[in-house]
Amino acid sequence: MRRPKNKVAEYFVNIYRSLATIAAGMGVTIKVFFQKPVTLQYPDELPVIEEAFRGLHIYEQEKCIACEMCVKACPIDCISLQYEGKGKKARIKSYRIDYTKCLFCNLCVEACPTHCIKMGKEYNLCSYDRAGCVRELAEDIYSERSTVSE
Ligand code: SF4
Ligand code: SF4
């Protein structure tokens, strides 16, 4: 913008520009003041999770046939599976996912022939150390049966 030659004129132009700048800034402030806040009071308020969200896995152990397709499909080897037997008689001893490495890429889900591993909506991976991010998804659902047979 051109500077006025006259000192008095320059003085009033500066006042005008300052007021215009303040008015523009206050316009934005007032507009946002009446809008709905985008922040949430977490954890009292929880976000709405979209359908396509890929959170921590859901594992249906009873349907797992220990085929290891998910383990082979995982690009970074973060699934660790321990079992005895194969197919419908498989006994799953451990199904662990290391979430310090998981990419949430969904490839394990796509590879599973029995649809027993899915991406869930849980996102809370809070932990005091890295070991807390390695999650065991299998439960010892066979312990009662094994105790009886022993
Ligand atoms: S989502 Fe991807 S990275 Fe994570 S366990 Fe499945 S295949 Fe591996
Ligand atoms: S691909 Fe599915 S059925 Fe096969 S081991 Fe993985 S979770 Fe179990």
The predicted-structure confidence for 54-63, as pLDDT tens digits, reads as follows 999 999 999 9
Bridging pattern class, strands 91-98 and 79-84: antiparallel
Residues with CB under 6 A from ligand 2: 64-70, 81, 111-112, 114, 116-117
Residue 145: the pLDDT is 46
Mutate to test the pocket of ligand 1, among 106, 117, 123, 135 (most ligand atoms within 8 A of CB): 106
Residue 6: the pLDDT is 87
Tens-place pLDDT, residues 58-115: 999 999 999 999 999 999 999 999 999 888 889 999 999 999 999 999 999 999 999 9
Burial degree of 106 (CB within 10 A; 0-12, 13-18, 19+) = middle
Strand blocks (E) in 30-141: 57-59, 79-84, 91-98, 117-119, 134-136
Query: Which ligand has the shortest distance to the CA of 112?
Result: 2
The rounded Å distance from CA 120 to ligand 1 centre is: 13
pTM over 0.85: no
Which of 58, 49, 51 is CA-nearest to residue 115? 58
Bridge partners, 119 (sequence order): 57
